Structure 1
Amino acid sequence: MQPTILLASRVSEPFHEHLKARFRVIEAETADFDAAIAALPPELAGDIRIVVAFGSTRMPAAALARLPRLGLICCLGSGYDGIDLEHARERGIVVTNSPAANARSVADLAMGLLISSVRNLSSARAYLEAGRWQGNAGERMQPVRGLTGRKLGICGLGAIGLNIAKRAAAFDMEVGYHGRKTRPEVPYPYFDSIVQLATWADVLVVSLRADASTYHAIDAAVLQALGPQGFLINVSRGTTVDERALVHALKTGQIAGAGLDVYEHEPSIPGELFELPHVALTPHIGGSTLEAAQEQEACVLANIEAFTAGQPPHTPVPL
């Protein structure tokens, strides 16, 4: 008998069709996982063995408890911060993710946000739209410092952070990092704390894994250390940054600008951010490339196949 899969996040049509051809697939009626589970008839909920969803999807213990036969949760992407891992551990539910599948795509966007915020591309477009550009003989935008020679500090030197470091080096930037542990194999200097890294850096890029230990890791003290010429780029999770402190730092000139793909209370975004110069904003699209989706889906499928064959998963999350 085919195992029953609950598809709780959107996936590509080819992958969707592939799953339906091989497994019994139930699609969540709403993006709210708790509400989606509550809407399922008890007999259908009782059949579900596998859940496929983005790792940021909030899966509380109460909702998971209504899936008595659940044995595997496959996260699309590297994150798994939405899942009640303690509940999974207590029940022996295997949790997997797709580490490094979207690392290059997220790193690309990090550099795009960096360029956009440092070079103030949103204001450059507004300048054009206002008809203010009259060629070299007319009014010109004020020149800004470029990327060459800037110091880029990376918070979290995992797969995404390493790809950001490689890209930054190509822009002739100096790279340093802070993480859970040192990486002796890399040529970049390690800093013992985020404050020390921010004090050194001109640009601070956040690529931390989101969990209780990294909640508001970027706080008012870090932003103060980054300073009035510093830029913050966040492509990890919104919870890693104290958003209220960030808005205050931007409005008061405590830091120079920011590039944000993630927000503390998604999909809500503080309105003040849209009004500030040197702030680049995107709607959590770091991993939204065709290449990343294909790698994530291949990883999920490999984990499902291993699970249904009674074998260990390829990319288990430590519980």
Structure 2
Amino acid sequence: MPEKVLVYSRFPKALMLRIGERYELLDAAGKPPAQVFGADQLADIRAMITAGGTPLGADMMDMMPKLGAIVCYGTGYDGVDLAAAAKRKITLGHSPGANASSVADIAVTLMLAAIRRLPVADNYVRSGDWAAAKPSPMMRPQAGMRGRKVGVYGMGEIGRKIAARVASFETEVGYFSRSRHDVPYQYFPSLEALTEWCSVLMIAVRAGGDTHHIVNADILRKLGKDGYVVNIARGSVIDQPALIAALSEQTIAGAGLDVYAKEPHAPDALSAFPNVVLSPHIGGHTLESHVAMQDCVMANLAAYFAGKALPYEVRGA
């Protein structure tokens, strides 16, 4: 009999096919598990799969007294109550670096699209304004990438890949993280110092209590009227109302966002800015990334059910 695994977050069924070939999946489809499964079914659950950003607290863990492993599909685990998991001796696993290349790619895509105003240019062609030689203030020449100073906030696997990519655009690259790394980029002692130096701020830091709304009105003010902010980390890192205010007041030049304070993100003030490029949290949404994340999930589950340490265990969080 295959081991039973609860699928806690809402995932497209296609993403669970490979995992379902090895385990009996109890898919809650994003609903509270108690609404879908009986207490007797949940009582037998020893392992579960979740998306890292989905809130998972002590009350939910208590519904599964045999729960011993929470496996996050993806790098993040900010939705998991770490203290509650530790208290219950529940092991936490994730998929570190599995989608790093894809997320770095979308970060650079958003940066270029915002700076070169590609959505505006696309509409200029589609609307017929270009063919009609209709003037557009938004189509005036903008400063390009050569010589720009790009600051990377967070120098983990994704941050490193972002830095390597943007360096190829003839830019200067600097970074700030909790510690120095052996990388060929200028280190700054604080986020404030990095932001004052750069004209593009790439946010690639892990979400948590210490980074909640850390990119606030003051940081955006330091970025300046020619500055752009790109966020592919978590929406919680940016104070979204402060970002909207900065865009409205032209405190900054624009933004590229793949993550939001609330997801899915409904059209709001952000949607109205032509200098903001939006994507629906698709940074890691590529075929190769999903295969890599599934490999990590299955390796973690296999190790747990075999009584071994998780190969991709979250440590020191």
The two structures share one fold, judged by TM-score above 0.5: yes
1:11 Cα offset (Å)? 5.3
Instruction: Mark the runs of 5 or more structure 2 residues left unpaired by the alignment.
Output: none
| One-letter amino acid of the counterpart of residue 159, structure 1 | E
Tell me the distance in 1 between the aligned counterparts of 2:44 and 2:36: 14
Equivalent of residue 67 in structure 1, options 61, 64, 69 = 64
Mapped to 2, the partners of 1:177 and 1:163 lie a distance apart of 12
Tell me the CA shift for residue 269 of structure 1: 4.2
Supply the distance in 1 between the matched residues of 2:163 and 2:64 (Cα, whole angstroms).
42
1:53 is matched with 50
For residues 252 and 271 of structure 1, what CA distance do their matches in structure 2 show?
17
- State the AA in 1 paired with 2:28: A
Residue matched to 2:6 = 6
Report if the CA contact (8 A) 1:117-1:278 is conserved.
Answer: yes
> Normalization by structure 1: what TM-score?
0.94
1:143 alignment counterpart = 141
Output aligned runs, 1:1-319, within 5 Å.
1-8=1-8, 9-10=10-11, 13=14, 16-29=16-29, 31-32=30-31, 35-134=32-131, 139=135, 141-183=139-181, 185-269=182-266, 271-318=268-315, 319=317
Distance 1:12 1:41, change over 3 A: closer
Which whole-Å deviations, capped at 9, do the CAs of 1:284-315 have from their partners, x for residues lacking one?
Answer: 11000001100000011111111111110001
AA at the equivalent of 1:276: F
Structure 1: runs of 5 or more not aligned = none
Task: Count residues in correspondence.
Answer: 313
Q: Matched residues in 1 for 2:233 and 2:57: separation?
A: 21
Query: Equivalent pairs: percent with the same residue?
Result: 39
* In structure 1, C-alpha distance between the alignment counterparts of 2:241 and 2:269, rounded to whole Å: 11
State the distance in 1 between where 2:126 and 2:36 align: 48
So what's the TM-score if we normalise by structure 2? 0.94
d(CA) in 2 for partners of 1:275 and 1:134?
A: 25
Q: Partners of 1:121 and 1:17 in 2: how far apart?
A: 36
| Aligned residues of 1:263 and 1:269 also touching (Cα < 8 A) | no
CA change 1:280–1:17 in 2 (3 A) is closer
Give the match's secondary structure for 2:309: coil
Shift >6 Å, 4+ stretches: none
> Deviation at 1:159?
0.4
Contact 2:77 2:94 in 1 (8 A): yes
Give the drift of 1:275: 1.3
